[in-house]
Amino acid sequence: MVIPSFSSERAETAWWDKNRAEVEAHLRRVLRDKAKTPPRVVMTPGYKKKFVPVAIGLSGADLDAARKIAEDRGIGYEAYIKSLVGK
């Protein structure tokens, strides 16, 4: 499944709303297939961690708001917060 680039948040929201059933079906297939075949993780020489875990303090209200927005978009709240910080 290919997720396109979007010109605006409104266009992105419209695409997710229109394609939600197809995306969910795709994710179910992927998860079902991965359950049958255990993942293989191979560390290559010279591998460096791409991401560094960071702890930030958020108010309960801010965290609740992030979770609600993320749920409405169909993504995890941590991924949503990460998207606000940068790529």
Report helix, strand or coil for 80.
helix
* Structural tokens at position 9: 């948040």
Domain range annotation of the chain: 1-41, 44-87
pLDDT in tens, the chain (87 residues): 788 888 888 888 898 889 888 888 888 887 777 666 555 555 556 556 667 778 889 899 999 999 999 888 888 888 888 888 875
* Structural tokens at position 67: 């979770």
Helix, strand and coil content of the chain, in percent to the nearest 5, comes to: 60, 0, 40
What pLDDT does 44 receive?
58
